[in-house]
A and B are shown apart, each in its own frame.
Chain A
Amino acid sequence: MAENKDGQVYTASGIPVKDIYTPDDVKKVDYNRDLGSPGQPPFTRGVYASMYRGQLWTIRRLTGYSTPEDTNKRYRDEYAMGQTGFSIAPDISTAAGMDPDDPRVSADVGHSGVPIYSIEDMEVVFDGLPIEKCSTYLADRVGGLLSPAYFIMAEKRGIPLNYVRGTTPNDLFTWSSMDLANQPPPDAYVRYAVDFIEWCTEHAPRWYPVSFNSYNPRDNGLSAVQEVGGLMATVIQYVDEEKRRGRIPLNKFVKRFAFNMAANNDFFEEIAKFRAARRMLYRLMKDRYGIDDPTCGQLRVHVQTSGSTHTHQEPLNNLVRIAYQVLAGVLGGAQSIHANGYDEAVCLPTEEAMLLAIRTEQIVALETGVTNTVDPLGGSYYVESLTNELEERAWDYVKRIEDVGGMAEAVKSGWIHREYKAAIIDYERKLDAGDVTVVGVNKFRLEKPPYKVPIFRPDPKSPDLLIERIKLLRKNRDNARAAAALKEYERAARSTENTVPAIFEAVKAHATPGELAEVQLRVTGGWTYPIAG
């Protein structure tokens, strides 16, 4: 998506691109200091020595819709097709922490994800699926019940917590980029995320308790540079909080950090972005926090193809875009990849679209030969030069965020949201002027849509079913136990102690998402989303 301004070519994030790169462009690169062999600091070439020769990336797609039963069926299908991990997309009621009979959310129940209100719902979602062999990503609300419910389910199945594998994002950057109702303020995110990291360090050491996530901010229009800068600023916010608390050694605290990034269109810039991000995390840990431990500062990243690049017009074109974006993730050294459904700008993905997405990853992995050697682009004059440039610009962006008070403050004040808005308006202007090309949309657009694709509709009856079910849950549980657990959660939340054990007890006592959120917001106060049109 290179663009021309005054005859100069730029990357999508605005880095000038020369017509040719030579050894002169990388003469400052010191192999051991700046690249390192794969698996060696600063991890520019990859976090593992053998990379895909040792183990392929995990094929994991964010999925969830309608009801836990419907979602289970889809997870089983995906597993049968060769998907190797799961990723729960919660519906709006689950994400907002509102029970389905809450009138504010009733129209949204079962939309945009799967509603999960209890341990039993979680058990339905994973019925018949071997969670001991897979890892699962739980896109939970901060302080929500998905992670406790998943852990409790695992224990019931006889899987000890220190064997459970997966990720809870607990991420401020992406979560605060969505206009979700019923959310606590940014400081409360940081508090809970750090509580959860501390708790997992002790109890669930193979779990990733945080996944710093820039996917949605990127789809809100931020550039590759801003994406990486925002991620590092969020890391700083979290590590600074633990440093202030001083409860566990920092090298333990940072050991299980994971990341979730977008793969957008500018192929080489995206590859350079993943490489730069890895080097930056290592340098951040070493230079800023003095953590000189080669098992820390390893940026393990899940990559998802950018939904904002997919077009409603001629949706089959998105298959091509997605394949290139997957390839950028692979050449960028991703640990896990979600190829989108080609039809996501048209409807929720159909089964055929889901199968094609999984097949896209499998074809890249097993037919193209790109996995035969580790970091095949390492040493490319252009890629190394872009990696350097991206790193430099991303550090500048980190500084800008620190200048407005750090990530939590940048979110609270709406500074980051103004960045989104400016980026979106700028992109629309470029689209209108033809400075960016979207094939089939602002270039080569056909008068009449040339074909239609099949569409998928979720079951519109699901809200009533779920409302009945939660009423039954409230009726059948030990209400005194649930009330006591919620009271204990509130007490813990008002103190400075770790809130995770109290939330687990409340989930065990069948407290509902709405009740958990009510306690949370009573303690932290609400947060008004700071974007305005």
Chain B
Amino acid sequence: MDKKRVKILMAKPGLEGHWRGMIAVSSAFRDAGFEVVYGGNILPPEIAATALQEDVDIVGLSILSSNYMRLVAETIKELKARGKGDVMVLLGGIIYEEDFPALKEMGVAGIFVPGTPLKDIVDFVNEKMSAPAHKGHKTHRAK
């Protein structure tokens, strides 16, 4: 089987400027051998367009303001509209626990709050990407 590196788009939908967490997570993903496309602050349509163009396996979103429900829903809608509905969506930031079920229902695969060890996020990705349930992907566990 071809062993393509896991490719991740990291982005902040909307204009809120707290990027510290995203920089830390991006760096951990690179250290783990994933290929990271750093999108920075871009709006949901641009996130979907970039995800398509870069053919990423995962879209990692970082949101530290309280409008994440709307921004995540918009991003997933745009991904689906561009035929990238199969991409794995991860969400990090200040996310209320009571919203976890609704976000998962929307299609978010993993939610990570501040203080999550970076290793746990990397392990989560490795596990998900190697799971047989995750169909439609040509990727495998990164080294």
Contact = CB atoms under 8 A, between A and B. Distances in A.
A112 interface: yes
Size range of the chain A interface in the assembly:
35 or more
A330 B14 CA distance: 37
Q: How large is the interface on B (under 10, 10 to 19, 20 to 34, 35 or more residues)?
A: 35 or more
Most buried by A among B22, B66, B71: B66
Contacts of A441: 115
Interface string B57-88: 00000000111011100100000000000000
Interface string A20-39: 00000000000000000000
B9 to A, nearest CB: 10
B136 to A, nearest CB: 26
Interface in B11-65: 12-20, 22-24, 26-28, 36, 38, 40-41, 43, 65
Contacts of A467: none
B16 A532 contact: no
Interface string A346-389: 11100000000000000000000000000000000000000000
Contacts of A484: none
B20 A219 contact: yes
B94 A345 contact: yes
Contacts of B38: 532-533
A154 interface: no
Say whether chain B's binding surface is mostly helix, strand, loop, or mixed.
mixed
A453 to B, nearest CB: 11
A248 interface: no
B117 interface: yes
A432 B70 CA distance: 33
Interface in A424-448: 424-425, 428, 432, 438, 441-442
Given A108-B14, A312-B115, A428 B67 contact: no
A179 interface: yes
B134 interface: no
B66 A348 contact: yes
Nearest to A314: B115
Nearest to B36: A533
Main secondary structure of the interface of A (DSSP, over half): loop
B24 A424 contact: yes
B113 interface: yes
Contacts of B20: 219-221, 308, 420, 424
Contacts of B18: 178
Nearest to A96: B15
Interface in A411-427: 420-421, 424-425
A346 to B, nearest CB: 7
A312 B21 CA distance: 13
B10 A107 contact: no
Interface string B82-121: 0000000000001011100000000000000111011100
Interface of B: 10, 12-20, 22-24, 26-28, 36, 38, 40-41, 43, 65-67, 69-71, 74, 94, 96-98, 113-115, 117-119
Interface of A: 92, 96, 98, 104-105, 107-108, 111-112, 178-181, 219-221, 308, 311-313, 345-348, 420-421, 424-425, 428, 432, 438, 441-442, 452, 455, 457-458, 460, 529, 531-533
9 contacts: A92-B65, A105-B15, A108-B65, A112-B65, A347-B96, A424-B24, A458-B66, A531-B19, A533-B27
